[in-house]
Structure 1
Amino acid sequence: MKMNETFDQCVLKERKACISEGRLSLMLKFFCGTHPKCSTDLKWSLNEAKKRVEEEYLIVGLLEDYESTLRLMEKLAPSLFKGIVTDYHSAERKKRSGRFHSNFKKPPSAEVRAILREKLDLTYQFYDFLKTKLELLKKEYDI
């Protein structure tokens, strides 16, 4: 991405930093692990990442559903996360996090979202898997 270039412009100009499945699948690689295929075979990585999430993670949260993620963490591991939701709503935390708020953030256009959905298919598949898993946990624990 170039200076003063919007994300939409970066995607529409097909810059690798914005549309390369290999560069933007870091989340997939993280959950896949250190096996050599995690860096070379994205389809294999997707399946391995899903398998590892199922077998090794109690919860994987999403920033877009942050409060529910915190509520689940508090419910599933109270000795570690007791009071985390209260802290999240505290005035002090809001004051600290307000420093990083962007007034100029513009969401990607529908055209760019469609391009990303196509080019980053495996990453979206993993995200959809995580979102579904989180929704099931929320339902199971009445959150």
Structure 2
Amino acid sequence: MKMNETFDQCILKERKACMAEERFSNILRFFCGTHPKCSTDLNWSLNEAKKHVEEEYLIVGLLEDYEATFRLMEILAPSLFKGIMTDYHAAERRKESERYRTNFKMPISAEVRAILRKKLDLTYQFYDFVKTKLELLKKKYDI
């Protein structure tokens, strides 16, 4: 991305900094693991990542749903996460997170949103899978 270039401009000009293929599959590779196919076959990687979430993770939370994620962590693993909600709500912690908020964030255009949606299709499928699992846990524990 060049100085003073918007994210939209970077995507539309197909700059490597914004459009490199590895940028679009990092989360799948993380949850997929170290098998060589995790880096070469994204459809296989998606299925393997889902399998790992099902079999190896107690909970996978979402940044946009911190509170529910933290509440579930307290319930499902209290020896590890007791008091996490108290810490999250602490005034100093709140100030710290505000410090990292993006100022003057420009919304992306519909055109760029469509490009990214297409490029990130498998990642969106994984996100939807994780979100559904989180919603089921929230319902189960009345959160």
CA contact (8 A) 2:24 2:119 kept: no
Percent identity for Structure 1 against Structure 2: 82
Equivalent residue number for residue 44 of structure 2:
44
Equivalent residue number for residue 108 of structure 2:
108
Aligned-pair CA distance for 1:33? 0.3
The normalised TM-score by structure 2 is: 0.92
Task: For 2:131 and 2:15, locate their aligned partners in 1 and report how far apart those are by CA, in whole Å.
Answer: 28
Change (3 A) 1:20 1:125: farther
CA contact (8 A) 1:20 1:119 kept: no
Q: Per the alignment, in what secondary structure is the counterpart of residue 14 of structure 1?
A: coil
Deviations 1:83-131 (A, max 9, x none): 1111111111112222212221223222221211112111111111111
Change (3 A) 1:70 1:107: farther
Aligned-pair CA distance for 1:3? 1.9
Higher RCO (CA 8 Å, separation ≥ 6 residues): 1
Aligned-pair CA distance for 1:62? 0.7
Note the residue ranges of structure 1 that are not aligned, 5 or more in a row. Answer: none
Equivalent residue number for residue 61 of structure 2:
61
Task: For 1:17 and 1:50, locate their aligned partners in 2 and report how far apart those are by CA, in whole Å.
Answer: 28
CA-based RMSD of the aligned residues comes to: 1.4
Note the residue ranges of structure 2 that are not aligned, 5 or more in a row. Answer: none
Task: For 2:126 and 2:137, locate their aligned partners in 1 and report how far apart those are by CA, in whole Å.
Answer: 17
Equivalent residue number for residue 78 of structure 1:
78
User: Which 10-residue stretch deviates more, 29-38 or 19-28?
Assistant: 19-28
**Alignment: residue pair count:** 143
Aligned-pair CA distance for 1:13? 1.5
Aligned-pair CA distance for 1:57? 0.2
Task: For 1:100 and 1:23, locate their aligned partners in 2 and report how far apart those are by CA, in whole Å.
Answer: 22
The normalised TM-score by structure 1 is: 0.92
